[in-house]
Amino acid sequence: MHLYAALLAASAAALAPSTSRPPRRSRIYTAIAEPETTETKVEPPKCPLNAEAQLLAARDAILRASKDGVTRQQLRTLLRRDGELVPPDETWTGGIMQLYGACRPLARDLLRKIGEARDDKPSLREQRLDVSGVDGEALLVAEGESPKNDASLFIQPSSEIQKTIESVCAAAGPRLVLTLNPQFRDVDDTLD
């Protein structure tokens, strides 16, 4: 018991501040107060001002998300009309087929750009999904030189083809599946 008391007294004496020199800062405190910064500052994305810039920004965002394991993605983009980018909302004059006509080239170019970024030249196949032929829904499939680079893209899907979307997602496994300018809203957002 005396040995235990002696160890406690010695520990207390060692921890007591000395009057001959100032107390030292603990290493833990120093590490917290002065952390090393190795992070690089990431600039926020800029709004694209033309169709090519929008295409490249969408491609880059898709590839970043895909690299992080997000292989089911939804995109909402502006569409080209009379050389300008315009929203596909209530201000669009014309119907869903005019929207489809503007969205289809964007979808094809997007899948090609994704393939090029992966050092691949995909072949594209298109299948119309609207039974009536007037709803502007289609599925584009980009078959890459390597199956891991395959990608599927739904153009303007509606909630009526939800089962088709689910079956394509199941068949795609870890490969990329995109929906471009869906006709449904999955959140109550005034900007959506």
Phi/psi of residue 87, each to 5°? -75, 145
Residue 91, pLDDT score:
83
Chain segment 71-105, per-residue pLDDT in tens = 999 999 999 988 888 888 888 888 889 999 999 99
Residue 155 burial by Cβ neighbours in a 10 Å radius (0-12, 13-18, 19+) = buried
Residue 15, pLDDT score:
47
Mark the ranges of the chain whose per-residue pLDDT is less than 70. Answer: 1-38, 45, 186-192
Residue 69, pLDDT score:
94
The whole-model pTM stands at: 0.72
